[in-house]
A and B are shown apart, each in its own frame.
Chain A
């Protein structure tokens, strides 16, 4: 339900395009993301709830990717940055604030029932965004 907190033991994923990825110095492979990949706005950071489809036969990661692909065009070179909610919550916000993740399902043309928001961080919170960027596990779209 909209506004519900996502459990700490769950995960969220963020769609990342190639120019937002961190490219390894020797292999040229992807080892992370740039903080700007989060594209935070005043509402927070848009992500998808990985366990939204928990229990589905195809597996929750594939289902989450399916929702992301339905909402946005995904290229072969794009990636998903997966983060643990508990690690997001352990990241300090600005001025002693805290971060959490809320369910924020989208209706209409942008239909995305697994859409969620990382709250407590804005576009100018450089340090927080940088810290979040070390917490990601970058995966290929399923």
Chain B
């Protein structure tokens, strides 16, 4: 009870973005994404009792979202007793992943004048515990190729979506063992993961946000064209038509 009370009080004093305040965390966290607003439903906060704290570790030297969140909290609540902090933290253990995403978005949004590429690199660095090294390195290269030309993005009226990028990372994190996809951006700034098993065949997954994605596949390599499309479960690549599902594997 002490920790819960403290949490409410301390969080209500924090300058958290997007309307997050203490127990409001149990409802939803909105993270603004340029013009789009993606809502990440967090579910119940759970009781603030001591327990095992799941603290992801960065494997790439960058602070994790969890570590950044700790710093944020400590910086704003200098008198917060360590034990209370531990109690507080334990209550959030199921939400670490959500906070990673939230914190990444927050970090990447500040200041707004930063280059698009830098903001997405920051986000990738913060989320790096969620993806394996191969995905991490490849995503860095791909972000550079796609986002390095700020003027071109402005000329084309493309505003890359952070929610979409977080969705991509979430998908890669939840579907271990996938071959890393090629990457492109659509006109709405959504990230599109593409696997090309051979020439004139590909499957694309367009990440519309954190929780929503569509797949579309085409094979024009043989005499008879094969086509398919549908919605993707963010939890399992297996929801893709079995004719094309294997294209995502190494």
Residues of A within 8 A of B (CB): 17-26, 28, 30-36, 39, 75, 77, 87, 126-127, 130-131, 133-135
Q: Are B185 and A19 within 8 A (Cβ)?
A: yes
The interface size of chain B toward A, counting residues with CB under 8 Å, comes to: 36
Complex contact B147–A24 (CB within 8 A): no
**Can you name 13 extra interface pairs (CB under 8 A) apart from A19-B156, A20-B156?**
A17-B155, A17-B156, A18-B145, A19-B184, A20-B185, A23-B182, A25-B138, A31-B196, A34-B186, A36-B187, A87-B220, A127-B216, A135-B200
Q: Closest Cβ of chain A: how far from B139's Cβ, in Å?
A: 9
CB contacts (< 8 Å) of A23 on chain B: these are 141-142, 145-146, 182-184
Residues in B with CB closer than 8 Å to A20 are: 156, 184-185
Q: How far is the CB of A53 from chain B (nearest CB, A)?
A: 27
**Quick check: is B164 within 8 A (CB to CB) of the other chain?**
no
Q: Mark B67-101 against chain A: 1 for CB-CB distance below 8 A, else 0.
A: 00000000000000000000000000000000000
Residue of A at shortest CB range from B187? A36
The interface of chain B, by Cβ under 8 A from chain A, is 138, 141-142, 144-149, 152-153, 155-156, 158, 179-187, 192, 194, 196, 200-202, 204, 216, 218, 220, 225, 227, 229
Chain B, residue nearest A17 (CB):
B152
A88 to chain B, nearest CB (A): 11
CA distance A127 to B200 in the complex (A): 15
Chain B: CB-nearest residue to A123: B187
Give the chain A neighbours of B218 by CB distance below 8 A.
130-131, 134
Asked if B181 contacts A25 (CB within 8 A), the reply is yes
Q: Which residue of A lies closest to B135 (CB)?
A: A25
A39–B158 Cα distance when bound, in Å, is 12
* Chain B positions within 8 Å of A32 at CB level: 182, 184, 194, 196, 202
Q: Which residue of B lies closest to A26 (CB)?
A: B138
Q: How far is the CA of A30 from the CA of B153 in the complex (A)?
A: 18
CB distance from B199 to the nearest CB of A (A): 8
Listed A/B pairs (27) with beta-carbon separation below 8 Å: A17-B156, A18-B146, A18-B148, A19-B152, A19-B156, A19-B158, A21-B145, A21-B184, A23-B141, A23-B183, A25-B138, A25-B180, A28-B138, A28-B145, A32-B182, A35-B204, A36-B185, A36-B186, A39-B187, A75-B149, A75-B152, A126-B216, A131-B218, A134-B200, A134-B202, A134-B220, A135-B200
A42 to B: closest C-beta gap in Å: 16
Residues from chain B with a CB closer than 8 A to the CB of A19 are: 146-147, 149, 152-153, 156, 158, 184-185
Whether the Cβ atoms of A127 and B181 lie closer than 8 Å is no
Query: Which residues on A sit within 8 Å (CB–CB) of B155?
Result: 17
- In the complex, the answer to whether B196 meets A131 with C-beta atoms within 8 Å is no
CA distance A26 to B138 in the complex (A): 6
Q: Which residues of A contact B202 (CB under 8 A)?
A: 32, 133-134
Interchain CB contact under 8 A, A33 and B184: yes
Pairwise interchain contact B182-A25, C-beta atoms closer than 8 A? yes
Say yes or no: A22-B149 contact (C-beta < 8 A), given A127-B216, A134-B202. no
Chain A residue numbers with a CB within 8 Å of B183 are 22-23, 25
Alpha-carbon separation in the docked complex, A139 to B154 (Å): 24
- Contact: B216 with A22, CB < 8 Å? no
Best-buried of B148, B153, B183, B194 by chain A (most CB within 10 Å): B194
Give A26 to B134 CA distance when docked, in angstroms.
9
Q: Closest Cβ of chain B: how far from A28's Cβ, in Å?
A: 4
Complex interface: chain A residues within 8 A of B186 (CB): 34-36
Instruction: Output the residue of A24, A26, A30 with the most chain B CB within 10 A.
Output: A24
Docked-complex contact A31 and B149, CB < 8 angstroms = no
Once A126-B216, A134-B202, A135-B200 are accepted as A-B contacts, the answer to whether A24 and B182 lie under 8 Å apart by CB is yes
